[in-house]
């Protein structure tokens, strides 16, 4: 699982909501102070819990 708190000094803003289907490479969240830093999904999955 990707958890934004695991990334030190990143202030996450989410692109997804609970229950969204996510494909490999889909954007999950970005740093709200450095919007060019985007974190993406590595696998196909469903978002269970945010």
pLDDT tens profile 1-50: 777 778 889 999 999 888 888 888 899 999 999 999 999 988 877 666 66
At 8, which helix (H) or strand (E)? Answer: none
- pLDDT for 11 equals 93
Dist. CA 9–CA 20, nearest whole Å: 26
Cα of 45 vs its chain's centroid, Å: 12
With the C-alpha atoms ordered 50, 1, 23, 13, is the resulting torsion angle positive or negative?
A: positive
**Which of 32, 28, 8, 30 lies closest to 18 in space, CA to CA?**
28
What would the two tokens of residue 48 be? 């269970």
- pLDDT for 47 equals 67
* Residue tagged 């993406």 (tokens): 40
**pTM higher than 0.85, yes or no?**
no
């Amino acid at each position: 699982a990707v958890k934004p708190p695991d990334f030190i000094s990143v202030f996450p803003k989410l692109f997804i909501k609970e229950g969204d289907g996510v494909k490999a490479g889909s954007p999950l969240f970005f740093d709200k102070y450095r919007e060019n830093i985007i974190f993406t999904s590595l696998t196909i999955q469903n978002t269970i819990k945010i």
